[in-house]
Amino acid sequence: MSINEIFEDLAANNSRLFKIDYLKKQEHNYLLKDVIKLALDPFTQFYIRKIPQYEQILNTDIGLKEAMDQLGYLSKRMYTGNKGIEHLRLILCNLPPDSAKVIERIINKDLKCGVSVSTVNEVWPELVKEYPCMLASGYDQKLVDKIKFPAMVQLKMDGMRFNAIVNNGKCEFRSRNGKELNLLGHLEDEFITIANGENIVFDGELIVTDGFGVLDRQTGNGILSKAGKGTITQEEASKVKAIIWDEIPVLFFKTGLYSTPYRVRFASMKDRVISLKSSGFTIEVVESQYVDNLDDAQNLFQRYFDKGEEGIILKDLESVWENKRSRKQIKFKGELECDLKIVGLEAGSGKYQGKLGSLLCESADGVVKVSVGSGLTDAHRTDLNATEVIGRICAVKYNARIKAKTGQESLFLPIFIEIRDDKTEADLSGDIK
């Protein structure tokens, strides 16, 4: 069985347990293991956003392993631009169709079979290093009581989480799961300048603006998702704005821990931005205020919420940066939200007859299951299909977590927000309040 046929088998069944069992039977398939590592490793990029057109050259087949070795010229940026595209085209031309499809999966950094990094690492422990990302914890009084004051309150942004990675004088943008975001050169020089020769990862959020203000989340993130697909236009990219709140040296970012206190990291990052603001730079520091106690934090939250903002993040000034959900950074939100995996579709009825009725979604561990129909637009109901959405992650807003008499856990008044192109893992039930 070819590597591509293995991926097609995996794609045909949405069960995570099936995928794990299937891969365990392939545990000693070292070529498969190498393919998966190359495709999912977040720190290996090939800097080509679109597969070039190609036709197979008869009688000139090369092996898949040799083809993978040839991709090193792209990942090490020995071949870039048109030279890189031509190098890839020649590789694909000289492969049999099944192997060429595997190379396409590798280049796209997407195995297209619903196999995530965590699934792979259950079969081959630590085969793929997960892309580092520090997350805030949901509101929990026990955690809030441990925050040291004075602390910092920051506006919770409503865009797409991103990193600007400045390394050896070059800048690249990544989503929270490590996927490359191509903004067609927009903002790169600004980040290189504020890094001032250092190898730094800036953490923040991208939003999209027009002449009247910030676009709503669905519209803005729809444009930003194009940056991940390589289809964003120059005009769209020019409307993207970067709001940042942290900086981490590249070396410590990769290891997953930076012990310098947040007050020091924030001050350094803010100084970088302020020192170049007069040069017309557009990078901004997230709206931030110091608070002396919890009452002040709660009052700020209410003021922001009354203005229509999503909420705030309360941050302990002594907190470290770590590749995990921080217990020193707490989200205050007016409405609950979670990210769920789409596992099926329900057909519509009544006025939605013949269209999509709702999405069947569940938590990563399958404990929380819910049918989500509210929030879907007419375009969603007409255009979304099983091939396109099953296995992907969507954001869902809700009022409460509930349990039926049968014991099945669900969500009360779920509302679809968006497909999360920047995320490949759903929330665990333990993270859903």
pLDDT digit string (tens) for the chain, length 433 residues: 999 999 999 999 988 899 999 999 999 999 999 999 999 999 999 988 789 999 988 666 689 999 999 999 999 989 999 999 999 999 999 999 999 999 999 999 989 998 989 999 999 999 999 899 999 998 889 999 999 999 999 999 989 999 999 999 999 999 998 989 999 999 999 999 999 999 999 999 999 999 889 999 889 999 999 998 889 999 999 999 999 999 999 999 999 999 999 999 999 999 999 988 888 899 999 999 999 999 999 999 999 988 988 899 999 999 999 999 999 999 998 888 999 999 999 999 999 999 999 999 999 999 999 999 999 999 999 999 888 899 999 999 998 899 988 889 999 999 999 999 888 899 999 999 8
The dotted CATH code for 336-431 is 2.40.50.140
Domain with CATH 3.30.470.30 in the chain: 135-333
Please, what sign has the CA dihedral across residues 229, 234, 235, 240?
A: positive
Q: What is the pLDDT of residue 388?
A: 84
Closest by CA position to 118, among listed 133, 102, 129 = 129
Q: For position 267, what pLDDT does the model report? A: 98
Taking the C-alpha atoms of residue 58 and residue 336, their distance in angstroms, rounded to an integer, is 57
d(CA 417, CA 335): 12
Domain ranges in the chain with CATH number 2.40.50.140: 336-431
Please provide residue 418's backbone torsions phi and psi, each rounded to the nearest 5 degrees: -170, 160
pLDDT, position 60: 66
Distance separating alpha carbons of residues 45 and 66, to the nearest angstrom: 18
The reported pTM is 0.85
Query: What are the strands, taking DSSP E only, across 262-320?
Result: 284-285, 288-291, 311-315
pLDDT computed for residue 181 by the predictor: 94
* pLDDT at residue 408, as a whole number: 93
Fold of the 135-333 domain: D-amino Acid Aminotransferase; Chain A, domain 1 (3.30.470)
Q: Tell me what pLDDT residue 399 has.
A: 87
Strand 180-181 relative to strand 200-210: parallel, antiparallel, unpaired? unpaired
Please compute, for residue 204, the number of CA atoms within 13 A of its CA located in the half-sphere on the CB side: 25
